[in-house]
């Protein structure tokens, strides 16, 4: 009884906060998809937003493109981060954490500022363009690297490498070095050891890296706005647009719900393999 009261006192404030500012908004947003327009009353329900959304294939194309870009971003950042995690864990000894911190320091610097840096580098008068001109590879003012899908991809990969590196590093660090010795004793070559011992054991890290890069990238709209231009916009820009210029909140709410469902499905599948929320109870 006493215990119950204590638990109640601990769990009520966070639950109430989550209910009012997390669950309720999502429910209201779901209802909002049935509104006739941004400013009218909720009733009677209207399916205008649904008709609008499902009759316009370009929304799906953009969602598909954004998923592909998010997938590419996640895969590339993992591919770039994996070798460095491997090097740090298996070759650098005690200095590894220091070396890792040095590497991932940029991750703690404002997201917007890191994107700004790439705007400066990839811009039409930017560093990369100048370099290419000086190297004689392109003529003056030739390809404008800024405002393309490639610019979005480069910037996103840059932004996410540290976040991909961390979980992979953590998973690798947990590998018992005796396993490698055992593999070698049993006659496995280094590459066999890697593919049959190290790689499988780092899979949970790779999976969380994938998840934590893929999901936020799917909803990304800031980077595309700054470096993407017309050809670089993503699904998140659609949502932002409905609440900004287009002022079609019901459609924006529906687009958000679609993204939410998609993320929910991914999270569910992911959670079946790696439960991120598991916390043991000690009593």
Partner 1 sequence: MRQTGKWLGLGYYLLLLLFLQLPILLLIVFSFNDSVLLVFPLKGFTLQWYRELLQATELINAAKNSLIIGVVSSVVATVLGGAAAIAIARYNFPGREFFLNIATLPLVIPYVVLAVALLILFQALKVELNLWTIMIGHTIINMPYVMLIVAARLSGFANNLEEAAMDLGATYWGTLMRVTLPISMPALVAAFLSSFTMSFDEFSLAFFLAGTQNTLPVYLYSQLRFPSRLPLAVTTAAVVIMVSVVILLFSEWLRRLGAGRPKV
Site for partner 1, residues 205 to 224, rule: CB under 8 A = 211, 215-216, 218-222
- How many Å apart are CA 41 and CA 77, to the nearest integer? 46
Q: Between 54 and 87, name the residue whose CB sits nearer to partner 1.
A: 87
Name which position in 143, 162, 204, 229 contacts partner 1 (CB under 8 A).
Answer: 162
Interaction between residue 247 and partner 1 (CB under 8 A): no
In the complex, minimum distance from the CB of residue 179 to partner 1, in angstroms, rounded to a whole number: 17
In the complex, minimum distance from the CB of residue 74 to partner 1, in angstroms, rounded to a whole number: 14
What is the size of the binding site for partner 1 (CB under 8 A)?
A: 84
Residues 6 or more apart whose CB falls under 8 angstroms from that of 148 comprise: 228, 229, 231, 232
156 and 214 Cβ atoms separated by less than 8 Å: no
- Footprint on residues 22-61 left by partner 1 (CB under 8 A): 22-26, 28-29, 32
Name which position in 71, 72, 80, 274 contacts partner 1 (CB under 8 A).
Answer: 80
Interaction between residue 177 and partner 1 (CB under 8 A): no
Name which position in 61, 109, 247, 269 contacts partner 1 (CB under 8 A).
Answer: 109
Q: Rg (Cα) of the chain, in Å, rounded?
A: 24
Interaction between residue 140 and partner 1 (CB under 8 A): no
Interaction between residue 87 and partner 1 (CB under 8 A): yes
> Residue 278: which H helix or E strand, with range?
none
Peptide bond into 44 cis (omega under 30): yes
- How many Å apart are CA 81 and CA 184, to the nearest integer? 26
Tell me whether residue 28 is exposed, middle or buried, using C-beta atoms within 10 angstroms of its C-beta: 0 to 12, 13 to 18, 19 or more: exposed
């Amino acid at each position: 009884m006493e215990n119950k009261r204590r638990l109640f006192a601990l769990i009520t404030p966070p639950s109430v906060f989550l209910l009012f500012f997390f669950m309720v908004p999502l429910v209201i947003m779901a209802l909002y998809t049935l509104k006739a327009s941004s400013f009218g009353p909720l009733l009677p329900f209207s399916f205008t937003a649904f008709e609008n959304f499902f009759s316009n294939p370009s929304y799906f194309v953009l969602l598909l493109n954004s998923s592909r870009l998010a997938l590419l971003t996640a895969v590339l950042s993992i591919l770039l981060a994996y070798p460095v995690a491997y090097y740090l864990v298996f070759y650098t000894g005690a200095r590894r954490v220091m070396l890792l911190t040095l590497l991932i320091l940029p991750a703690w610097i404002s997201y917007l500022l890191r994107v700004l840096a790439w705007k400066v580098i990839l811009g039409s008068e930017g560093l990369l363009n100048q370099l290419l001109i000086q190297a004689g590879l392109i003529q003056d003012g030739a390809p404008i690297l800024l405002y393309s899908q490639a610019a979005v991809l480069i910037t996103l990969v840059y932004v996410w490498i540290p976040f991909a590196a961390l979980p992979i590093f953590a998973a690798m660090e947990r590998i018992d070095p005796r396993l490698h010795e055992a593999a070698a004793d049993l006659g496995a070559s280094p590459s066999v050891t890697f593919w049959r011992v190290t790689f499988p054991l780092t899979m949970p890290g790779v999976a969380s890296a994938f998840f934590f890069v893929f999901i936020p990238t799917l909803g990304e709209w800031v980077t595309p706005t700054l470096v993407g231009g017309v050809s670089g916009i993503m699904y998140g820009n659609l949502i932002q647009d409905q609440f900004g210029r287009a002022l079609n909140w019901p459609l924006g709410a529906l687009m958000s719900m679609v993204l939410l469902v998609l993320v929910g499905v991914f999270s569910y599948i992911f959670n079946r393999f790696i439960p991120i929320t598991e916390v043991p109870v000690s009593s």
